[in-house]
Amino acid sequence: MTTHDTTPLTIGIIGDGFMQPALFRKALEARLGDREITFREMELDWPLHVKSTKVDPDLPVGEFVGRPEDYFDFLSDLDVLVTHLAPITAHSMDHAPALKLIAVSRGGPVNIEMPAARDRGLSVVNTPGRNASAVAEFTVGSLLAETRNLIRGHLAVKSGSFNRDYYHYDNAGPELGELTVGIVGYGDIGTRVARLLQPFGCEIVIYDPFKPLTPEETAAGFRKAELDALLAEADVVTLHPRVTPETIGMISRERIAAMKPGGYIVNTTRGQVLDYDALYDALVSGHLRGAALDTFTPEPPPADMPLLQLPNVTLSPHIAGASKLSAKKAATVIAEDIARFLAGDTPHNLCT
């Protein structure tokens, strides 16, 4: 569908090295047809030069790059703002008198001050599930890398040591098919992790108080359990809950101590859900055999963080969602919802 509204429109795009302005613009031009549009573009230095997104207790937004005032001039004459990481606060909105819609290419509008947007009648759309497939694949890859010594073997060969220690029975890892995998959080990512693991023959146990299993999932042998029961049974615990007051610190020292001895933890969600000091102690003591970690608190983790020095961890720099397809998907979803908004239709991913 092509919109036939001929009213001139100014769309501002604040992209970065992952969600590049050109991706958004290409998707918007394809979706909005011959609509007269003036594009204004800005590309942030994230992630190559700005290494982290911020959580600032003095601001009512999270996971952003820069300061709100860095973008005030850019916002001044926009009808629509498309962004990934710019912090948009009440003061930002006050500097954008013509703004009608904010489109943020995130799973949640964490960098948008939503109460201020509602107060001003501004619509906000986002892109839930944009990288669910990417994160699920990365989760399974991280699990394989940790349990089967892939990274340790790679580093040994690269350093000139054709290390056969990993062929010793005591150092050999399990096959996925013999593992019970506990999935904590069964949203878009958790459900995909379960489907990816199913062909390996894993037993799948799920903790999510809000998501019932489908008849197909039950028939496939998936089952639900309370969190403490899951931790006691699972050989692998993989974490996928959203960060909420209820999930911050949910995998605590007490719960790590109650995990099945010799188990593994995989974290590709956010560092806040896991007690990293307790994880370190469990890995050093041998209570847990290994961990695969893509996220930390804080980010980046300090170089002297003891956990980073352990041999039985597989580490990555918060890149689970970084696939080309997830970026293209986010741009396409954004363009579709902007088109719907401009046509007077309800966007698919309207934030409330």
Q: What whole-number distance in Å separates Cα of residue 65 and Cα of residue 13?
A: 14
Residues 14 and 83: beta-carbon distance below 8 Å: yes
Answer whether the bond into residue 47 is a cis peptide, omega within 30°: yes
Q: What whole-number distance in Å separates Cα of residue 131 and Cα of residue 330?
A: 8
R_g of the chain computed on alpha carbons: 22
Place of tokens 């919802």: 337
315: its two tokens:
């580490």
Distances (CA, A) of 112 to 125, 179, 303, 314, 339: 10, 41, 31, 33, 21
Question: 29: closest CA among 37, 41, 20, 18?
Answer: 37
The catalytic residues are 270, 299, 318
- In the chain, what is the greatest distance between 2 CA atoms, to the nearest angstrom? 71
DSSP label of 245: T
Q: What whole-number distance in Å separates Cα of residue 12 and Cα of residue 258?
A: 50
Beta strands at 80-83 and 9-15: parallel, antiparallel or unpaired: parallel
